Structure 1
């Protein structure tokens, strides 16, 4: 006779975590608190294989992601709950755009940048994405990826976004002209810098009308989907899992309960973490990125597939 199984919760500390006992009311308010608390600290750095690097502060991420939120909602006219895709390795643009999508009350879906055009196309169609932020390294497969999708707006990203001008221009020239690693985009697109400029203009116009970031997500609730995370597809086509804001906040709260006290006790004020896991996976975005940000950690991004 087999031994009766014990309930799973018996192995956890009493009252260790309750589903309603979250660190924030929603993702937008958590991000706002993070940006305000650590404004002057370095938030993200990207270091390329040639040693070139650039850094954005928490205040930079706050400002740029807010511009992206208004670009998507007010300039493009996307509605609450619409889906926006990012297909990119870990570069400085990724957290800026990802947090802009979430702050706008939209749904984020991250696409593996090494996907074939057919694989990326399936995710774009299946998720119903209406806008795509895509790394320029794979611009020659873009048109095929977009066939049959609902995407009407394409914004191109670069590994040197937010790098100082001389360094950015030099590296871009080498990648584009000498190494021939950046092909011509085979579909109309605008650069991230243009989207940011349009977003700032939309944000200023909204401010004059008395509207702010909170108004962009007024129709969204904590149990609404925030991310469509696609599985690895090891047993067939990749499948989209709907992840709510509550799911993400629960993960961050759980991580804080298990490691937060230790991390806070060990703080010296200049903590740095290396994030190798890809941000298109929700664990890297929620724990490797957002949970680290709550601690004011300086996150160094490894731009896979160029580690």
Structure 2
């Protein structure tokens, strides 16, 4: 734990709360966290965590080593402008807001002809809310190795982190892990529906589907073998799994998933271009 590190969250929604819970008294003391949250009804919950809170950007931002922007993309520009009076040379800016490019944020934080280069853009996903997230990270050139380590520790408090080179890499991250939980939830829904169709109750199908997804994911994560090898080991020639996989292949399951991921990546690029 680093007692000298101070972090400010600009935006105090669910993702900020998850990150703060993962960091507090592990990476830094809870008292070293400051939250700017416009919704005053949420202040009591933050204060109960032992952090300081304000309803608008204030002088406490000047004391923070790291600013974590966790606001909706449509208000990001105005929020950045409100925070800039307290920006210091030491400030490392981190954004977990979807759809706002690194170069755009750098321009908003910097001055004309001098974009802010100490900036890391992150793309977390919703399983971070239960400490099982996957986050893509991309840094601008002004970010040092020590800065990277700090951001990795922050985002690593709620799951796995992967560095990519740039915003294009984050578009791909968005398509795989950012939107990915929805693909998994859809598959779970379909597996439950299939189970009910062949005779299980909805409760039985749900319990089996969730346990199967959790177990298969854990096995894939902990095994040295590839997912393809693990799949082959479950599949006996002429057996039940082979019949199911043949149905998937006939429907071009792999192609459908690839098309979906490509559509998500393209939409990520479109949204960022319109920011």
One fold, TM greater than 0.5? no
Answer 1 or 2: which has greater helix percent: 2
User: Using CA pairs below 8 Å that are at least 6 residues apart, which structure has the higher relative contact order?
Assistant: 1
TM-score scaled by length of structure 1: 0.26
TM-score scaled by length of structure 2: 0.28
